[in-house]
Chain A
């Protein structure tokens, strides 16, 4: 009789746990050893004994976790042995330094995608397809309603909107997640506007980390503290979604927009009361999820991030073993 092999990863109370390797991936509670896929707050939490992460994201992770955190970094594809398994990190294309985790046991290979996207992004390495037996895959936008338009067409629409605001003497305030989305926008847009993009303080701090590592973000300036009336007309201003209210009112006449995958759906656009919604996501859309699962050759798929039930059923009807795993990951902020 063959003994059932213990799964390479299981979900415990702290997160995704690899019993053979003795480590967690993106734990939501403090653990001795945490492998971190990327520096977003819902994936990288403070308080763990030691962290293992991709070299490309080390500075961002340090910014998130503080000076004291013990961080060990790996180059892309560099393999380490952790007790009974071999582990390596590979680009996920979500934000700078975002990694997929490949774990090789005696019989099986598992891959944890972390957050990922397949569209190109000038600020980070492109997603690397990895063959595996079991794929632990994010499912933030796992409904066929979500199909991203090309990034070029969205960026063009943003430029037209900024010009339109300029004609009407308004500032163009674009809300975007301050780590990742904002830099992707700057790298893609910064050079193509008449004037430098103005950014909120929270974004400026992260921009400097990117630029210190040689990522070109185009023309940007911190939003000046003092300014003449009307000085912001026609300027594109990037801010995190949390900076609404009094901060926004102090800008004078302004239109607001949001760049997020959620903007695909009219009801969601309206509920959030932005003047405009641009569909730009750092996550995989439905076609990208299906393509990634197919390319991996995995026979078994585990879905994280909440919206996985529909995809799990869809995959099951197509002969794969698929189920959802409850996690505390939040998906895409707006």
Chain B
């Protein structure tokens, strides 16, 4: 049994079908890149796992237990962390309050210890706990969005477009952080990205999604060196 199993998941917004039956397995402590162009259905897939998108067909299971019908806050409680596309930190709250909002499912007694662990990954956040999140730079906001989701001690971490709109040096730094966090927490990660080559370097396995379907899947190394894949899906 895999940590996460998606079986034939169809996300439907009214008459718009965002995914046409996604099936995917994620094992413990594994990073999977979900790559594809804009509108391919990456965000919808992550939202289906979180219970944020209407699932018309198919099922999502965590540890073999169905997540269908749960509210997003209950999915978090089961051990899934979510860093949304566009960061969406709470702009009018301080850095520290943003981190607190990520810890509502954590027993209170564990908050301080967890905060120190998360601060250790992100020393720049530790330096400015009182600053309003809205006044942080784009890269800092992305780090805060990741840190906020980590506060709940997830086992599965869904990361939606963490490289979007950031300068190359920052993207590289975020990549290093994702790897470091993944290793030291033993996290399973799904990294949804348009920046396919970057995401594939961070992930052991890659699934290429297009038109709401997973078109091919395999070890990232293999796909990266496959000329047909590069031409058809990676735009190189």
User: Do A and B associate with each other?
Assistant: no
* Interface positions of A (Cβ within 8 A of B): none
